[in-house]
Chain A
Amino acid sequence: MSEPGTAPLLEVDRLVVSYQLDHGVTLRAVRGVSFEIMEGETLALVGESGCGKSTTAKAVMQLSPIESGDVRLQGVHLNRLPSRTLRERRHAFQMIFQDPMSSLNPRHTIRQSLQNVLKIARRFDATQSPPLIERTLSQVGLDPAIVLDRYPHEFSGGQCQRIAIARALLLDPVLLVCDEPVSALDVSVRAQVLNVLNALQRERRLSMLFISHDLAVVKNVADRVAVMYLGSICEIGPASELLAHPRHPYTQALLRAIPDIDQPFQAPALRQGETPSPLDIGKGCAFRSRCPQARDICASVEPPLQASSTRQAVACHFPIDVPSLSLVRDAA
């Protein structure tokens, strides 16, 4: 495990993202999300579909409309940059997507796809490009001699995802945003991609924002985890602590719901309530309709995200107790 640096590389501060729907309706997809990512650190953003995790990732990439709040990369307010300056900084933060096949041009050889990146970025001259491309492909475990003159359809999903990672790395980013990068991959090739991502973090001290709904994958790649529910972070903390001792009832339900082959099946402790519409969450805790321990206060007061230990924070009026052992370890 690599030691994260001390200065935040990415700071997301009270981020709000809204979409204007028909009839003047506003959908607030991200409702005041704050987190930091240190140099060389991987933060996983987990939650179910519609919780706002992908929207948050796109807002970090300056691809969704930010209503308020800030995204700072190495101290620079990305969301306040004029578009021209932003374009010049884009090399520093790159993104890979869920479906690697559709993120590569099927009519371009891998060589063409990778060269285009360098051409558009205008950061390298013709003599620098070929060795850089070959070095980067080797870094994701692909043999340039075999790969370069082939087309995307000749590769498996896992190989395509590694090519997409290589393409993102060409411009030497400090931050890699990964949106469900292994969800579409088969088990036997998923491991290849996870190993590459872990090696990059170790060797290049790359910081990552890793979006996933799969907690076992998150356990493998993340240093810290933020759990989102209906546009807000309900719990955030070190992966080892949070996944072993969840404080928020929703985190606990998520952990129980994953089919873990090493554990017997446990029914997640959830009430049969419906998830509120994101258009009308109302006041109080967004999770209360499904929470097994919701009480009166949960319907009237929205719980703030509060530190539950030195490194973990939870937004719940009645957080789950952790065994005293871990509290001792936190205090140390």
Chain B
Amino acid sequence: MTAAEPLLHVQSVNVGFHTARGYAPVITDVGFALHKGQTLAIVGESGSGKSALAKTILQILPGNARISPDSRILWHGRNLVGQKEAALRQLRGKSIGMVFQDPMSSLNPFRTIGSQLTEGMRLHLGIGQDEATRRAIQLLDDVGLSSPAARISQYPHELSGGMRQRVIIAMAIACEPELLIADEPTTALDVTVQAEVLQLLARLQRERGMALILITHDMGVAAHHSEHLAVMYSGQLVEQGETRAVLQKPVMPYTAALIASIPRMQDESHKTLHTIAGRPPTPHEFLSGCRFMPRCQQPSSQCQQPPPLRQSTDQQRDYRCWHPLEPAHV
């Protein structure tokens, strides 16, 4: 951790959705800090709230969502919660870029690659069409597309999935954002293309000092492409710390169980894998105490109480558990 002010400082953020079945608390007391150029991976299973967290930072949640007013999302020290829409719009796509999972639905099928790429630059950077087109060609070259000048006049359906995701990334970085939020950016892609896209993101970070929030369900992707790791379960960050350290010595039982249930190349064939009983709860089923308790192998009566957010003695690890695993046991 550097002493400098974080680029993004998220503090006690609570978000809920009003649904037909009542109020669903999808994000509870989430906090983390991200510095310039850093990569934070947020891992979790479907429904854990990781995508909702990304949308909360950008405040592009659906209309039935409510961010609690005492939540703080500090961007360069300025709280984004409660900001006017016009001010937020200045930020989105300019200072903070975003990449979503499905490359086809993020592009307009009726418009050329060039017109979609130049739109943001003309809007945010105030440059003319010719200059924007020149930069668009350079961007397509930067993200590794062959014959970029010809791609400008092509439509999304003329490109493969991997090429489309590169175009989306080009759009997201067009205005040179300080932070890129990538929500499962490679999940729809083949592994060889995934590796290329993740390498591309790493190169762009190096060249531009861009920070990255990488949201993924894949522990391997997080292991290879992040310095910090936050594990999300049932709307809470249950453990965060340096990626390698968390993977090697998880402290929260959920993190440990999740890592143990992954099939690994180094294991022998037909190995019986560790399983986690049951399934993750829906927001309507969240317990007032520890939300992982029903699936935990070592719950106690204390787990009926909400576990406080704690920090390891070396201050390198935050976790939410009454009975953290001793490193010797992991």
Contact = CB atoms under 8 A, between A and B. Distances in A.
- Are these two chains actual partners, yes or no? yes
Nearest to A260: B265
A191 B220 contact: no
A65 interface: no
Among B144, B219, B220, B278, max chain A CB count under 10 A is at: B220
A219 B265 contact: yes
Among B258, B259, B269, B276, max chain A CB count under 10 A is at: B269
A114 to B, nearest CB: 21
B192 A270 contact: yes
Contacts of A202: 270
Nearest to A239: B269
A186 B191 contact: no
Interface stretch (B85-93, B110-118, B134-142, B221-229): B221-229
A326 to B, nearest CB: 16
Chain B interface, >50% SS class: loop
Contact of A254 (B144, B191, B217, B273): B191
Contacts of A223: 269
A219 B263 contact: yes
A49 B261 CA distance: 26
A213 interface: yes
A262 B266 contact: yes
Interface stretch (A72-80, A116-124, A126-134, A192-200): A192-200
Contact of B258 (A187, A214, A257, A267): A187
A274 interface: yes
Contact of A187 (B144, B195, B196, B262): B262
Among A222, A260, A264, max chain B CB count under 10 A is at: A260
Interface residues of B, number: 44
Contact of A1 (B218, B219, B224, B270): B270
Q: Report, as a range, how many residues of chain A touch the other chain.
A: 35 or more
Contacts of B270: 1-2, 198, 201-202, 220-221
A197 to B, nearest CB: 10
A195 B220 contact: no
A272 interface: yes
B269 A219 contact: yes
Interface string B262-288: 111111011111111011100000000
A268 B199 CA distance: 10
Nearest to B271: A220
A228 B58 CA distance: 42
A38 to B, nearest CB: 15
B190 A49 contact: yes
B262 A261 contact: yes
Contacts of B24: none
A263 B220 CA distance: 9
A156 interface: yes
A240 interface: yes
B146 interface: yes
Contacts of A257: 191-192, 194-195
Contact of A216 (B45, B265, B274): B265
Contact of A191 (B144, B146, B191, B275): B275
A258 B272 contact: no
Nearest to B261: A191
Given A188-B258, A188-B280, A240 B269 contact: yes
B153 interface: no
A243 B261 contact: no
B264 to A, nearest CB: 6
A92 interface: no
A245 interface: no
A266 to B, nearest CB: 9
A85 B50 CA distance: 51
B228 to A, nearest CB: 16
Contacts of B45: 186-188
A246 interface: no
A198 B259 CA distance: 20
Interface in B92-140: none
B247 interface: yes
B264 A268 contact: no
A58 interface: no
Given A1-B269, A187-B45, A216-B264, 8 more contacts: A188-B261, A188-B279, A188-B280, A202-B270, A221-B269, A257-B194, A259-B223, A272-B144
14 contacts: A1-B269, A48-B192, A158-B279, A187-B219, A188-B45, A188-B258, A188-B279, A191-B276, A192-B275, A220-B267, A220-B271, A243-B265, A268-B195, A272-B144
Interface of A: 1-2, 48-49, 156, 158-159, 186-192, 194-195, 198, 201-202, 213-217, 219-223, 239-240, 243, 253-265, 267-268, 270, 272, 274-275
